[in-house]
Amino acid sequence: QVQLEESGGGLVQSGGSLRLSCAASGIRVSINSMGWYRQAPGKQRELVAGIRSGGTTNYADSVKGRFTISRDNAKNTVYLLMNSLKPEGTAVYYCNQWGRNVWGQGTQVTVSS
């Protein structure tokens, strides 16, 4: 039932920006806590940013001040705006509901030095 489709990844130079999108179906992003996660080679998946149903947000220390999570309830879509990208941001980025242990394909982000 729940489908989360990530898009917007790609190759970007260091210091550049990307906006990732998470198109949701079978779930209302307006009433669920949603998060963006990433996994780099040799590292565990980590939470990058979260947004609660009430709209409050939280960020990993490594991205705070550079990344912004948001949602468009009418479009049932969650976004992650990534500014000032660094090579260490290279990873597969995933969107998911808080606590859900099912993962999609994610979208690859590669930041060149």
Rounded Cα–Cα distance for residues 19 and 66 (Å): 12
DSSP bridge partners of 71: 78
Distance separating alpha carbons of residues 35 and 62, to the nearest angstrom? 15
> Residue 112: how many CA atoms within 13 Å on its side-chain side?
4
Q: Which two tokens stand for residue 12?
A: 């970007």
Q: What is the pLDDT of residue 15?
A: 98
Per-residue pLDDT of the chain (113 residues; tens, 9 = 90+): 899 999 999 999 999 999 999 999 999 999 999 999 999 999 999 999 999 999 999 999 999 999 999 999 999 999 999 999 999 999 999 999 999 999 999 999 999 99
